[in-house]
């Protein structure tokens, strides 16, 4: 079974410039990494990634690697998965929080995620890199604010291939449950699952504590669990903002 979120059906009325800028910066950093030799890349990771032993020895929240590490990725699929989820879900959280608060939220969730991973392995000399913790925070916020918004999910089961509208609450619940179940294998497969869990929980708790209850969206713009075409899903994600006021809820 192959299960990949592609778009959400949850339009906003303003261009999410911070989301787009973060995606652009991550891509530019990855292109720069691609120009480095293996030894240069290893040095780059070590000088800019979050290293637990360094931080807990004599560093503070001013430790620059806490922030630079959020814009570095270990490979194309690492970058692609993080930026895909940021693109799908980040615009709505930016629209809700506002650009400046969203940027702070993004960085704080990433820092909390890195510190949580560092706490369970404080003597590690392996650089922790990637935007996963920050993106996980966005997913936690999205789960609170837009549980009924449909996510266009590409599903492939043997000969069954389709794009299905799945409520965000289900998509994100599957994601975070998978992270919890994977916690025990983080040492063997090199994935910082604790960072994912901590980032998600920080985004969820922030939104739960500070969000006004009447802001939770309980409607959706398309029929849940119905199928759609890639073109339709794309057109409704990249929509004409001048017409966004005319978007109606599906009841």
DSSP structural state of residue 182: H
Domain count, the chain: 1
User: Apex CA 201: angle with CA 236 and CA 79, to 5°?
Assistant: 55
Domain for residue 186, yes or no?
A: yes
6 assigned to some structural domain:
no
Q: Is 189 contained in some domain?
A: yes
Is 233 within the bounds of a domain? no
Q: Say how far apart CA 134 and CA 132 lie, in whole Å.
A: 6
Residue 74 within any structural domain of the chain? yes
- Cα separation, 4 vs 234, in Å, equals 14
CATH number (domain holding residue 112)? 1.20.1540.10
The tokens describing 164, both together, are 């299905």
For residue 250, is it within any domain? no
Low-confidence ranges of the chain (pLDDT < 70): 1, 184-189, 212-215, 218-220, 236-251
Distance CA 150, CA 6 (A): 11
Domain with 28, as residue range(s), is 14-149+169-224
pTM: 0.88
225 φ/ψ angles, rounded to the nearest 5 degrees? 65, 10
Handedness of CA 217, 222, 224, 227 (dihedral sign): negative
Q: Is residue 106 part of a domain?
A: yes
* pLDDT tens digits, one per residue of 20-49: 999 999 999 999 999 999 999 999 999 999
Is 239 within the bounds of a domain? no
């Amino acid at each position: 079974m192959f299960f990949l979120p592609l778009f959400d059906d949850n339009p906003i009325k303003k261009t999410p410039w911070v989301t787009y800028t973060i995606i652009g910066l991550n891509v530019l950093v990855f292109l720069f990494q691609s120009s480095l030799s293996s030894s240069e890349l290893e040095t780059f990771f070590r000088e800019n990634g979050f290293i637990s032993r360094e931080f807990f020895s004599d560093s503070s929240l001013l430790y620059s690697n806490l922030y630079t590490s959020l814009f570095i990725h270990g490979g194309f699929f690492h970058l692609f998965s993080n930026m895909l989820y940021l693109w799908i879900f980040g615009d709505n959280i930016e629209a809700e929080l506002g650009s400046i608060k969203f940027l702070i939220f993004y960085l704080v969730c990433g820092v909390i995620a890195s510190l949580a991973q560092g706490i369970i392995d404080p003597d590690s000399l392996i650089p922790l890199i990637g935007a996963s913790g920050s993106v996980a925070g966005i997913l936690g916020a999205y789960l609170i604010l837009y549980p009924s918004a449909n996510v266009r999910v590409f599903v492939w089961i043997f000969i069954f291939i389709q794009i299905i509208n799945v409520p965000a609450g289900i998509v994100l619940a599957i994601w975070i449950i998978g992270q919890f179940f994977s916690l025990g294998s983080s040492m063997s497969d090199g994935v910082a699952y604790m960072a994912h869990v901590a980032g998600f929980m920080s985004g969820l708790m922030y939104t739960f504590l500070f969000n006004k209850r009447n802001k939770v969206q309980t409607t959706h713009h398309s029929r849940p669990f119905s199928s759609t075409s890639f073109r339709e899903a794309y057109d409704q994600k990249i929509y004409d903002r001048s017409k966004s006021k005319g978007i109606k809820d599906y009841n």
